[in-house]
Amino acid sequence: MATMHKKTLHNVDVQGRRVLVRVDFNVPLDGDRVTDDTRIRAALPTIQYLIDHQATVILCSHLGRPKGKPDPKYSLRPVAQRLSELLGRTVHMADDCVGKSVGELIAGRGPGDVVLLENLRYHPQEELNDAEFARQLVHGAQFFINDAFGSAHRAHASTAGVTAFVPAVAGFLMERELNYLGRALAHPERPFLAILGGAKVSDKIQVIEKLLTQVDYLLIGGGMANTFLKAKGYEIGQSLVETDRLNTAQELLRRGGEKLMLPVDVVVADQFAEGAKTQLVDVAQVPVDWRILDLGPRTIEQYRAKIRSAKTIIWNGPMGVFEMAPFAKGTFAVAHALADLAGATTIVGGGDSAAAVEQAGLAERMSHVSTGGGASLEFLEGKQLPGVAALADMSE
C-alpha cells in the first residue's frame, strides 16, 4: 500500500495551472497566534514547489470542530498570517471556502499566488462528503493535490469528494508518510520493533493484533500497560484500567508470548497531579491507593536494550503522563534511545509521541515524524485510507 502505486506531484505538469491543495493546518492557536507551526512547515515543500512552477495555489484545510457553522475562534486567518511569514509572500485569505466572493478572489489571482480558503468545517457538507459542495470546492482547479495525511482516514468532501471532479495526486508530505509507513510494514529491516503507549488498549487493539503478526518485539507502556498488567493478575491500585478489555488483553498476551513486553517496575503517585507524592515499585507491589503514571528505571533499561538492537522502529503513544515533569522520564528515555540509533529507521506516529519528540528537541533526529495520529494508526492497522484510495494510481 505504499505510494509507489500512487501518482504524486512529480507525475503531473502543474506549470501555470490552477491547483487545489488539501493541507492539514489543524494547528493549536492562542487567540490569533499559532502556538505550534509544525504542520504548516510540513506542507511548505509542496506549496513552494507549486509557487516555483508558477501555479495558482488554492489551499484548503479544517481547524478544530466548529460544528458546521462559522465560528471566529476557528478561523484560519492566523494560519494565513504565519504562512505568509514562512513563505515570505502574501497569502490571500478568503472569507469562506465556497461561494461567489471566493470565486472572485481566486479569479483575480495569477501564477505564483497563494490563496487560503476559510475553514472547511464551517460547512456541515464537508464531513458529509457532499458531492455538490465538493464540486464547488474545486474552483476550476486543473489538479487536486492531497498533502493532508492527518485527514486521509476521513472520507470528507475535501479529501475524497473533490477527486470525482479533478485529477488527484499525492503531495510531497503525503508521499513521504506513505513511503515510510508503507515500507516499514511491507519490507522492514529486522529486528522490527514497535513501541505502543497512550491511555487505552481499546484505541489500539487492531494495531496490536496486526503488529504482533509482523514485529519481532512489541513494547507496551502508558496507561494501556495497566490493563495488560491487571490481565496478568497484578494489583494496579487506582491506575487507569479498562476492565471491559481484560479478556482481550489476556488473549493478546497469549498470542504475543515472548514478543510482547510489559513494564517490570513503575513510578506510582498518590494522586494524579504534578506535585503528588511518588515512589518507585516493582509491578507486583503497587500500593492499593496509588496509581501508575510512568515506567521505572529497570523497564527503561530493558526497553532501551531492545531499541538498541532494532533496525526498524515504529513508536506510537507516550510511556507515561509526560505532560507532568515527574512522569515524563519513560517517554523521553524512549525518544532519546530512538534519536541515538545509527543506521536504523525510526518512525514516530503522530499525536502525543510526535509532541514528545518535538518537546525534547529530537524530531530532526528521527527518520520520520508522522503528522497524522489517527491516520497513521489506521494505516498500521492495515486499513485502506479513503483520502489515499481516492488518489490516481500509477497505472492510470
Active site residues: 39, 200, 351, 374
Cell 523521553 sits on residue = 332
Cell representation of residue 31 = 487567540
| 3-state DSSP of the chain | CCHHHECEHHHCCCCCCEEEEECCCCCCEECCEECCCHHHHHHHHHHHHHHHCCCEEEEECCCCCCCCCCCHHHCCHHHHHHHHHHHCCCEEECCCCCCHHHHHHHHCCCCCCEEECCCHHHCHHHHCCCHHHHHHHHCCCCEEEECCHHHCCCCCCCCCHHHHCCCEEECHHHHHHHHHHHHHHHCCCCCEEEEECCCCCCCCHHHHHHHHCCCCEEEECCHHHHHHHHHCCCCCCCCCCCHHHHHHHHHHHHHHHHHEECCCEEEEECCCCCCCCEEEEEHHHCCCCCEEEEECHHHHHHHHHHHHHCCEEEEECCCCCCCCHHHCHHHHHHHHHHHCCCCCEEEECCHHHHHHHHHCCCHHHCCEECCCHHHHHHHHCCCCCHHHHCCCECCC
Rounded Cα–Cα distance for residues 54 and 32 (Å): 30
φ, ψ for residue 369 (rounded to 5)?
-110, 115
